Amino acid sequence: MAEVISGPIQLHLLQPGQRGTITRINGESALRRRFAEMGIIKGETILIERNAPLGDPVEYFIKGYHLALRKEEAAQIEVTLNGGANG
């Protein structure tokens, strides 16, 4: 039986091709403000495009543009998974 993720998870744990809806943004106020300026806000859908060859940073697609975030930054963002591995 496969494990089903029902609650929010950190963004950096998703795999390429998965989509999530942002449910919470943690971190210091300066980081949260920077995320908001980039369009990373509660309720937005974000797609994991691909990982860099060494695993960091990760490329995401949100609000019509591509964005690279370090895993430590992405760990501050909680999402709920949308659909399966292909979104």
Q: Per residue in 7-39, pLDDT tens?
A: 899 999 999 999 999 999 998 999 999 999 999
Quickly tell me which residue has 């591509």 as its tokens: 66
CATH class for the domain made up of 9-82: mainly beta
What's the whole-model pTM score? 0.83
Instruction: Give tens-digit pLDDT for 43-61.
Output: 999 999 998 888 789 999 9
Q: What is the largest CA-CA distance in the chain?
A: 42
What are the structural domain ranges in the chain? 9-82
65-69: strand order across its sheet: 9-10, 77-82, 19-25, 45-51, 58-62, 65-69
pLDDT of the residue at 48: 94
Question: Which residues, in sequence order, are CB contacts of 9 under 8 Å at separation 6+?
Answer: 20, 78, 79, 80, 81
Q: Extract the tokens encoding 41.
A: 């806000």
CA torsion through residues 55, 29, 19, 85, sign: positive
